[in-house]
Structure 1
């Protein structure tokens, strides 16, 4: 069964700047969908009156550490 969600783009001052309503079958699917908006800033994902998660902005995330390469001798 599909559930109603909203992804809110949060401004630097903590005020919602915009919202995107969408449907998803589960919280994990909703988070995967909402992740696309993190390129614009921090995103709060809600399902009705329940806050599901806060996704940090891609811009504020530290770069992924590189994994050491194994070399054979």
Structure 2
């Protein structure tokens, strides 16, 4: 297991909080850190190595609901 940190980045670029955790791989760490994107942008680090910057879910448009009919213009 490797040591990672997920940093929640505020709108002005200032770190708002950090979560330390362990994961067996970078991909596992990213899967874990994605849960924090509902709060904002997240930087994922393994010691001094930046793994990724994950965009906030708030910035992403919602996925279409396949059970809801779509409106079309005629």
Runs of 4 or more consecutive aligned structure 1 residues displaced over 3 Å after TM superposition: none
TM-score, scaled to structure 1: 0.85
Local SS of the residue matching 1:17? strand
1:21 Cα offset (Å) = 0.1
2:62 matched residue in structure 1? 63
Q: Secondary structure at the match of 1:14?
A: coil
* 1:32-43 correspondence runs (5 A): 32-43=31-42
Corresponding residue of 2:7: 8
Partner of 1:46: 45
- Aligned pair count? 66
User: Aligned residue for 2:25?
Assistant: 26
Q: CA deviation at 1:64?
A: 2.8
Q: List alignment gaps of at least 5 residues for structure 2.
A: 67-74
With normalisation by structure 2, the TM-score equals 0.83
Q: Give how far 1:65 is off.
A: 5.2
1:17-46 Cα distance to aligned partner (Å, 9 max, x none): 000000000000000000000010000000
1:66: Cα distance to partner?
Answer: 6.5
